[in-house]
């Protein structure tokens, strides 16, 4: 289970090495940042409802903690790999640094399909997995959050399991919890809303007016995609297409968001939506529109299809949806690319807010959280776009230069122990 067996990790590592060369990164620091600080691989035995014990593999990767406690999601998916988890942990490290959070980067995973487990099986799997991670996590060490296949109930079980072990309620050990257990308001909206904050600023930079004549398409209709669609529609933009892994729908005159929500919630697809024509993911990526939000999986736009992308602003709501070799093609086509570590940082910023509120036992209202989120996103965007202009590099390169540079500075100041 080597990291180099993951194309996602290879892509993330190559990005790092290219940027390290551009910023003349200290070679000793570069060597240390080429691999994670800590990697835990566990086998998680779970007694199923039929009394058979199944064993699932799990991971937790703490990539770097020079800036503070590690922070990153936990995903439940049968096909997740250690290499993919390490790549996501690396991106979390740069992301947290880029937006100025006092946090390191981490990621975790359990190789299981949560949809095939009963509630009791899911709870037993989560509690046993938490016990396997118990020595690594903690409010001052590593704070997991929900990711793909994980919801706030899973985080509640994780928080309770940890609390039982330390002998006191410890809401700050995880984020993404139910509000009744110390969760934060605005958590569900944060990632998608952060994407749209960046889109608003990008539109201003290229002279695009966001109104009914501005069209947008969304790939992925989970939390990020649906919230981004809602925010863009509220600005007056016209929603013309959406797809998931099960296909999608297109209408040049505009889709009815409420009907889409209802259709998707009831059937898990858009086949029941009649006011439009069915469309594939491949067709959506080549659709002529002003704004394209990628909020699904990694590796959606590659060197093979990048030349067919026809949007003006491309926002990465997901992690790594555009491959490294596709970046130059997108840039040459004059598309304003909003890289993942900037565009989808609203999620980890909201997680940070939840952690802070848990620690101080003082909670903010939604308006306060949105104000703070918008301030951080706007500042990070301006700093990134300014560096992009002064250094004559892409937005992705500028974002990585800032994130990696901050981590490297912290490591140099702290030195090497012993």
Every domain of the chain and the residues it spans:
3-169, 189-343
Q: Determine the pLDDT at residue 5.
A: 74
Q: Which of 71, 95, 107, 177 is catalytic?
A: 107
Q: Are 345 and 194 in contact (CB under 8 A)?
A: yes
pLDDT digits (tens, 9 = 90+) for 275-319: 999 999 999 999 999 999 999 988 899 999 999 999 999 999 998
Nearest to 188 by CA among 219, 226, 240, 131: 226
**Residue 101: how many other CB atoms lie within 10 Å:** 21
End-to-end Cα separation, the chain, in angstroms: 30
pLDDT at 11: 85
pLDDT at res. 2: 64
**How many Cβ atoms from other residues are within 10 Å of residue 281's Cβ?**
18
For residue 241, the surrounding DSSP H or E stretch is strand 238-244
pLDDT of residue 255: 96
At residue 267, the pLDDT reads: 87
At 51, the pLDDT band (50, 70, 90 cuts) reads very high
Does residue 407 register a pLDDT over 70? yes
At residue 159's C-alpha, the angle toward residues 157 and 163, to 5°, is 115
Catalytic site includes residue 107? yes
Instruction: Report the CATH fold assignment for 189-343.
Output: Rossmann fold (3.40.50)
| Under 8 Å between Cβ of 254 and 238 | yes
pTM for the model stands at 0.95
pLDDT tens track for 74-90: 999 999 999 999 999 99
Mark out the alpha helices in 181-326 (DSSP H runs). Answer: 187-206, 223-234, 257-267, 281-285
Do 3-169 and 189-343 show the same overall fold? Answer: yes
C-alpha dist (Å) from residue 1 to 5, 41, 209, 210: 7, 10, 49, 47
Q: Are 353 and 184 in contact (CB under 8 A)?
A: yes
pLDDT at 3: 73
pLDDT of amino acid 8: 85
187/4: higher pLDDT: 187
User: What CATH number labels 3-169?
Assistant: 3.40.50.10860
What pLDDT, on the 0 to 100 scale, is given for residue 313?
98
């Amino acid at each position: 289970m080597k990291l180099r067996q993951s194309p996602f990790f290879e892509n993330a590592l190559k990005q790092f090495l290219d940027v390290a060369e551009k910023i003349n990164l200290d070679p000793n620091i570069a060597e240390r940042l080429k691999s994670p600080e800590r990697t835990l691989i566990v086998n998680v035995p779970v007694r199923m409802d039929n009394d058979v014990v199944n064993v699932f593999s799990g991971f937790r990767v703490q990539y770097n903690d020079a800036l503070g406690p590690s922070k990153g999601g936990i995903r439940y998916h049968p096909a997740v790999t250690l290499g993919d988890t390490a790549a996501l942990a690396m991106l979390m490290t740069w992301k947290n640094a880029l937006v100025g959070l006092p946090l390191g980067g981490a990621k975790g995973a359990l190789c299981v399909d949560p949809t095939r487990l009963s509630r009791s099986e899911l709870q037993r799997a989560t509690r046993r997995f938490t016990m396997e991670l118990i020595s690594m996590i903690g409010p001052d060490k590593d704070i997991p959050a929900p990711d793909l296949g994980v919801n706030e109930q899973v985080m509640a079980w994780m928080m309770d399991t940890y609390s039982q072990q330390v002998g006191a309620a410890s809401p700050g050990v995880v984020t993404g919890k139910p509000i009744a257990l110390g969760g934060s308001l605005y958590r569900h909206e944060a990632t998608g809303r952060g994407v749209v904050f960046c889109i608003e600023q990008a539109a201003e930079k290229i002279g695009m007016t966001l109104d009914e004549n501005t069209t947008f398409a969304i790939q992925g209709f989970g939390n990020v995609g649906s919230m981004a669609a809602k925010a863009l529609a509220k600005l007056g933009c016209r929603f013309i297409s959406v797809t998931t892994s099960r296909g999608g729908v297109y209408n040049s005159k505009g889709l009815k968001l409420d009907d889409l929500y209802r259709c998707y919630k009831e059937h898990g697809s858009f086949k029941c939506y009649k006011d439009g024509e069915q469309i594939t993911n491949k067709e959506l990526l080549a659709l002529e529109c002003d704004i394209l939000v990628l909020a699904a999986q990694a590796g959606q736009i590659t060197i093979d299809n990048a030349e067919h992308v026809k949007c003006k602003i491309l926002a990465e709501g997901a992690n790594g949806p555009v491959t490294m070799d596709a970046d130059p093609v997108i840039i040459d086509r004059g598309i304003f690319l909003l890289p993942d570590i900037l565009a989808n940082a609203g999620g980890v910023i909201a997680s940070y807010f939840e952690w802070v509120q848990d620690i101080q036992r003082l909670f903010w209202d939604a308006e306060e959280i949105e104000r703070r989120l918008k301030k951080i996103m706007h500042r990070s965007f301006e700093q990134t776009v300014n560096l992009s202009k002064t250094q004559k590099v892409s937005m992705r390169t500028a974002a990585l230069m800032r994130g990696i540079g901050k981590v490297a500075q912290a490591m140099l100041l702290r030195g090497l122990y012993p």
